[in-house]
A and B are shown apart, each in its own frame.
Chain A
Amino acid sequence: MYGIPIYRKTLGIEVQLSSIGKGAQNPFPDNPIIRAPNVLIECVEIYTATQLTITPSGLTTVTDAGLTGLIVNLADNTNFNRVFQLPAVALNVELNNGVPREFEPFKLVMQKSFIQITDATNLVVNQAVYVNISYFEQPDQTKSKRR
C-alpha cells in the first residue's frame, strides 16, 4: 500500500561535496536536532538545481545530471546501514512521480552517514546536495507507564 508521508517537522541539510573523486565519501554535517536521543527520521528528500539553484548558505545545488553520480548511505545508532548505497536519484521527488520515500522510522546518526561519489562527470567541488529530512520526537519513554 502506498501513501503520502505527513510531515510533522522537517530540516534542511546541506551536504557539501568537498571531495568529488570517485568513491569519495562526503559526510552529513552534524545537527543538534537530529542528534537528540528521542528524534527519529521518517522521510528523506533530495533537491536538485531544478527545484533550488542556490542553498540558504549560498552554495550551488547539484544538478539532475550530477545526482546520477551519487549514492546515499544512512547509518543508525546501532551502526547498522539502514540505507546502503541507495542511488540519490531515488530520493528526488520530482524524478519519482512526485512520491516522497517514506522509511520505517529510525534514529539517524549524521556523522556516520555520507554521500558517496560514483561518477564526478557532472559534479563540481563544493556544490551542495540539498537534503530535507522529515523527523518527529518520540514520546519520553523514561516515564513509567500504567499497564
Chain B
Amino acid sequence: MKPGLNLTQFPKIYQSKTISIVVPKGTNNKSPIFFDFDSIIDNSIIRGVQFEPLTNIKNASLLPNSVVADISDAKTAVISLVNKHDDTIINNYPVNGLFIYPKNDSASPRHTKMMKRFFLEIILGKCYLIWTGGTTANNLYFYFTFYYEAKKE
C-alpha cells in the first residue's frame, strides 16, 4: 500500500524554543495581541506547535499580577500564524487544540495524545493571539513551544 505523502507516524523534533505571549490585565476585547519578532523562528520551518499550560510549567512567571495561562484560560483563546506574504496560514486555531493532555488527568480524563504537526514558514512578529473571553484579572502568560528546523539553503 502506498502511504499518503502527508502521512507520518511520529513527529520528529529537530530544535525547539518556548516563547511566551502576554494577554494584559484588563483585556476585554478581541483585538489581536502580537508575538514579539524572533529571528530564529522567522528563519526556520515550523514542524510542531504545542501549548504549555500552567499544568506543565508551574511558577514560570514571577512578575507581579501575572499568572501562567492554564487549560481553562485556553478555552477562550485562539492563535493565528502569518507568513512573510501576510497570509494568515493558520487562522484562529483554538489554543486547546495545541495541548497534549496529561495521561490520567482526573480533571480532563480525555487525552489529546498526539502533537499537532505543521509545516510552516512564519514571521512570528506578525502572528497573534485573540482573547475571546471576559475581562482578564491578571496578566496572562501563554507559553508555546515551537519545534523547528533550519531552512535548507
A: which residues have CB within 8 A of B?
Answer: 1-12, 42, 45, 47, 49-56, 58, 93-95, 97-100, 102, 104, 130, 132
Contact = CB atoms under 8 A, between A and B. Distances in A.
B59 to A, nearest CB: 25
A50 B97 CA distance: 10
Given A97-B113, A98-B100, A7 B94 contact: no
Interface of B: 1, 3-4, 6-11, 30, 74-76, 78, 87, 89-94, 96-97, 100-101, 110-120, 130, 132-133
A5 B94 contact: no
B120 A132 contact: no
A97 to B, nearest CB: 6
Contacts of A93: 97, 112
Given A1-B3, A132-B94, A98 B113 contact: yes
Given A4-B11, A97-B111, A102 B93 contact: no
A102 B8 contact: no
Contacts of A52: 75-76, 78, 94, 96, 132
Which residue among A47, A50, A54 has the maximum number of chain B CB atoms within 10 Å of its CB?
A54
B133 A54 contact: yes
Instruction: List the 5 closest A-B pairs by CB distance, nearest first.
Output: A3-B7, A12-B92, A98-B113, A51-B96, A98-B112
